[in-house]
Structure 1
Amino acid sequence: MRQEQAKLAVIDDSPTLGPIQRLELLAALQTTLALDNLLELFRRQIRPWIPHEGLCYRNEEAGIAIELGRKGPHRCAYRLTLEGKDLGELSLLRRRRFCEPELASFESLLCCLIYPLRNALLYRQALQSTYTDPLTGLYNRAAWQQACVREWKLARRQGTPLAILVLDLDYFKRINDTYGHAAGDQVLIRVAGCLRKTVRASDMIFRYGGEEFVILLSNTCLDGAELLAQRLRLAINAIDCADIAPDLKITASIGVAALALLQEETPEELLRRADEALYQAKRGGRNRVVVALGDKSQGTDRRGAPDTT
């Protein structure tokens, strides 16, 4: 892929873009704070001046990579900055070379994007703060409520399986009381890291509250969810906490439930069944996995060793 040019986006206005067109573009870009929508809107609006097949935006610091349209062998890329702050890199792609007048027009058009892009990035950061647990970096309970409904609707519409795991650390209050809350926080951080390493990229992990976590498994049947729960249980057992306290061991109890599509189960009922399975695991000796069966009430402890500590 050939790159025609790379430079900072904030430069003087180009005479190829008139003041009326510039105001119209600015007004259009101020109608959304959603980053994906903003870039798609910008792409549509600039086509009269710069025909192109695709647009790519990358911001490594924020972990963002967005690709719209199709790729092409020719590319013009610009690093965007505002008041010394890196806003990422934006590229246009197409099958033929970009000429100098088009590059000049693109530079002027990018001037209209700078402030809306900065606002969209700040909005995205604020949303992430709203839906992220500050201690573990996992999604929080508010994020769970939105994601669960979204995935439930998708599963019902497409007839695909959906499962959840409810995981609770065993004797966590005893850890706090014995070793202190700072040690308890370190345990939660390590468990969160363990969960991230063990689940699939498509799985979503939430800190539901205290020492309780929920994992949302899209397109996953009950057997697959149970296998993952067992892997998680064993991975948590293997966490090394010797630097926190020499004799500290961590175990977890896990309840598993899969959406009962034929019974038109609600997200609340699905969570309730998984939660009931979790408490069966607690009553059964802890450090085990219990699977909720499909009648919304029964649960079966199919595997897992009891906690002997």
Structure 2
Amino acid sequence: MLAVENDHPLITARPLADQFRLAALHRYHILDTPACEDFSFLTELAAKVCAVPYAFISLVDAERVWIKSCTGLQLGELPRGESYCSLAVLGQAATEIPDLSEDPRTAGMALTVDEPHMRMYSSVALMSSDGHAIGTLCVMNTRPGGLDAEQRSMLTRLARQVMALIELRAKEKMLESTVHELELLATTDELTGLHNRRSLLHRLKFEVARSRRFRSPLSALMIDIDYFKNINDEHGHVVGDQVLANVGRLLRENVRVIDMPSRYGGEELCVLLPNTPVEGACKLAENLRLKIEAQLHHAGKRQFQISASIGVGTFNHMEIDDAESLLKHADAALYRAKRNGRNRVACGAE
């Protein structure tokens, strides 16, 4: 299953529809994955039932043969044209070579010529659900010979188990991906990429409980884009949506990992700031206000800028001691910033 001379016929042998076989292989997302005890068990079992010292689960990629699991000899990744297992994707459901040194396709390979001087090779193709051979379960020996009928039957059945395990792992990954996607849909505002209101309120309950327990500071920013209705009226809702998306990206890029920027509703945004006293929250709010004011937006060939008003609310363990009062405090400060001329930050109570 290793190196050969440059004129070896396996180097150029490729099925005409090899791209479909490769597509089937890559659909399983198994290449270059970590070692797995389940696959190791199946190779060990294959070697035992076939009474040989070596067994491999090999996957044949475009230019390499990648070894998912091996018993008896540690191999990793081999050039495709230098592997016995490349024979398995040329159409044979099962391949057996009683003496590798006598077969012109394999006689010059390094594992045949050099240590450990392989002689017998037997494999069963791993068939994808749409009928493509993506690799093999193979066994080898340093003595010529072959498998008996019972051993060949067992190797075939074990190959089915290998393929079933590959299918299972792929389905588990797909399920994980789907669950993650659903979680994002449930917690993320599609337009801005920020957390949605539901996600914010859920996190806020947790942060309030933690702030009460550890007497740690907790602040929130309420951000409103100034004269947003005028943007929609003058440039259209598509441009208005793009403005919101741009501001959302700006927030994501300018807050800490522990902070939680979210879309509270309409053009109103909120940033939850754990472990942040009022001074730090006001400093961040002013920094965000300046960045929003400097941000450029486009309506066709026209460029324009916007501004935002920001209110800062802070948990004080007295009259502001729950989620609702914190948001009301920040919202009242926002209203004060707008009433005093917009494009400004208002911190705390009047």
TM-score (norm 1): 0.59
Bigger radius of gyration: 2
Matching residue within 121, 125, 128 for 2:184: 128
Work out whether 1:157 is the aligned partner of 2:213.
Answer: yes
Alignment length (residue pairs): 207
Identify if the C-alpha distance between structure 1 residues 127 and 6 changes in structure 2 by more than 3 Å, giving closer, same or farther: closer
Matches within 5 A, 1:210-221: 210-221=266-277
Question: RMSD value over aligned CA atoms?
Answer: 3.3
Work out whether 1:14 is the aligned partner of 2:65.
Answer: no
The CA distance in 2 between the partners of 1:245 and 1:170, in whole Å, is 22
The CA distance in 1 between the partners of 2:186 and 2:347, in whole Å, is 32
Matches within 5 A, 1:54-69: none
Q: What SS class does the counterpart of residue 213 from structure 1 fall into?
A: strand
Which letter maps to 2:235?
Y
The CA distance in 1 between the partners of 2:243 and 2:163, in whole Å, is 50
The CA distance in 2 between the partners of 1:83 and 1:137, in whole Å, is 37
Which digits, 9 at most, give the CA deviation of each residue in 1:197-217, with x for residues without a partner? Answer: 222222110011111000000
Which letter maps to 2:329?
R
Which letter maps to 2:178?
L
The CA distance in 2 between the partners of 1:208 and 1:83, in whole Å, is 46
Work out whether 1:258 is the aligned partner of 2:286.
Answer: no
Equivalent in the alignment of 1:187: 243
- Equivalent residues of 1:203, 1:216 under 8 A apart: yes
Matching residue within 251, 256, 265 for 1:200: 256
Which digits, 9 at most, give the CA deviation of each residue in 1:18-51, with x for residues without a partner? Answer: xxxxxxxxxxxxxxxxxxxxxxxxxxxxxxxxxx
- Measured after TM superposition, the shift of residue 13 of structure 1 is 7.3
- Equivalent residues of 1:198, 1:235 under 8 A apart: no
The CA distance in 1 between the partners of 2:288 and 2:279, in whole Å, is 14
Percent of aligned pairs with the same amino acid: 39
- Measured after TM superposition, the shift of residue 124 of structure 1 is 1.9
Equivalent in the alignment of 1:69: none
The CA distance in 1 between the partners of 2:318 and 2:166, in whole Å, is 51
The CA distance in 1 between the partners of 2:341 and 2:320, in whole Å, is 32
Which letter maps to 2:270?
V
Which digits, 9 at most, give the CA deviation of each residue in 1:64-89, with x for residues without a partner? Answer: xxxxxxxxxxxxxxxxxx989xxxxx
The CA distance in 2 between the partners of 1:116 and 1:7, in whole Å, is 14
Identify if the C-alpha distance between structure 1 residues 268 and 246 changes in structure 2 by more than 3 Å, giving closer, same or farther: same
The CA distance in 2 between the partners of 1:133 and 1:268, in whole Å, is 21
With 234-243 and 271-280 compared, the bigger mean Cα shift is at 234-243
Which letter maps to 1:274?
A
Which letter maps to 2:289?
R
The CA distance in 2 between the partners of 1:194 and 1:116, in whole Å, is 35
Identify if the C-alpha distance between structure 1 residues 287 and 145 changes in structure 2 by more than 3 Å, giving closer, same or farther: same
The CA distance in 2 between the partners of 1:285 and 1:245, in whole Å, is 30
The CA distance in 2 between the partners of 1:240 and 1:287, in whole Å, is 16
Work out whether 1:173 is the aligned partner of 2:201.
Answer: no
Q: What SS class does the counterpart of residue 346 from structure 2 fall into?
A: strand
The CA distance in 2 between the partners of 1:154 and 1:204, in whole Å, is 15
Gaps of 5+ in 2: 1-30, 46-127, 131-161
Identify if the C-alpha distance between structure 1 residues 291 and 118 changes in structure 2 by more than 3 Å, giving closer, same or farther: same
Matching residue within 231, 240, 243 for 2:287: 231
Matching residue within 194, 200, 215 for 1:138: 194
Which letter maps to 1:157?
R
The CA distance in 1 between the partners of 2:32 and 2:163, in whole Å, is 11
Q: What SS class does the counterpart of residue 250 from structure 1 fall into?
A: coil
The CA distance in 2 between the partners of 1:173 and 1:264, in whole Å, is 32
- Equivalent residues of 2:239, 2:299 under 8 A apart: no
- Measured after TM superposition, the shift of residue 116 of structure 1 is 3.8
